[in-house]
Amino acid sequence: MSRMQTRLRQFLAAWPQVALVKITQARGSTPRAVDTWMLVSAGAIFGTIGGGRLEFMAIDRAREMIAQSVVQDRLDVPLGPEIGQCCGGRVVVEIALVDDDLRAALPQRIAKMEADYPSVYVFGGGHVGHALAAVLALLPVHATVVETRPEALEGMPEGIATVASAMPETVVRDAEKGAAFLVLTHDHALDFLIVAEALKRGDAAYVGMIGSKTKKATFSSWFRREADGSAEALAQLVCPIGGADVKDKRPEVIAALAAAELIRGFAVADPA
């Protein structure tokens, strides 16, 4: 069971009366998209429809409905100066008290949502690998850290899968279509082997390698000469990960920048 599913079950167990708040229409600039939902109880919330004044209004109304046993309501909210929110769009929010059938179905709703999360493979469990795992544990992805050294996988955050493999390139071959690969092992030769496998797939949302412009140039020469790699495949490679503009090389900073980069890669791969 995922961390989100566990939190949902704990929330539902703690609060017998809950309202579902769901965005059913969104026009113009809005905080979240259609079908975004959250749960509201008398003293807590689960999820978010975007925060700000819109969410405060929805929470207030949901709690009124719980107190007054109002089964269903609808808010049609222009996001303008009249509510102190300047998005400029318009949102319709449906609010309904959660009955037994919906309460039973909510965990499956979470599971279905999580099933669509993209996959991220981090090769290397060193300082940056651990920092990346900590960031990825908070994001809507399925993250796996792969290492040749089993001891380097100790202490990974909850929700991060781990694989100890003497041949990590085989993990690349077996990965899901459209996965992302971040390569940062303790061995440059191993980095090159893993990156070459990722680039040759042709379907990766993101392929990143820790290093420098010099390392990228060395890899490029090796990739064409030794791995029979194409210029088209090589163009997919991001190195250094996180970009070159920020010079801060602390693991946590590299991890934050690289995580933002790969999320952008997923968005470009699937603009819908």
Domain boundaries of the chain, sorted by first residue: 3-113, 117-269
Kindly give the interhelix angle for 127-136 and 251-269, rounded to the nearest 10 degrees: 50
Q: Which residue has the tokens 């980095």?
A: 191
User: In whole angstroms, what is the distance from residue 146 CA to residue 86 CA?
Assistant: 45
Per-residue pLDDT tens, the chain, 272 aa: give them. Answer: 688 999 999 999 999 999 999 999 999 888 899 999 999 999 999 999 998 889 999 999 999 999 999 999 999 988 766 666 666 688 999 999 999 999 999 999 999 999 999 999 999 999 999 999 999 999 999 999 999 999 999 999 998 999 999 999 999 999 999 999 999 999 999 999 999 999 999 999 999 999 999 999 999 999 999 889 999 999 999 999 998 788 899 999 999 999 999 999 998 777 55
- The dotted CATH code for 117-269 is 3.40.50.720
Please give the model's pTM, rounded to 2 decimal places: 0.87
User: In whole angstroms, what is the distance from residue 89 CA to residue 225 CA?
Assistant: 54
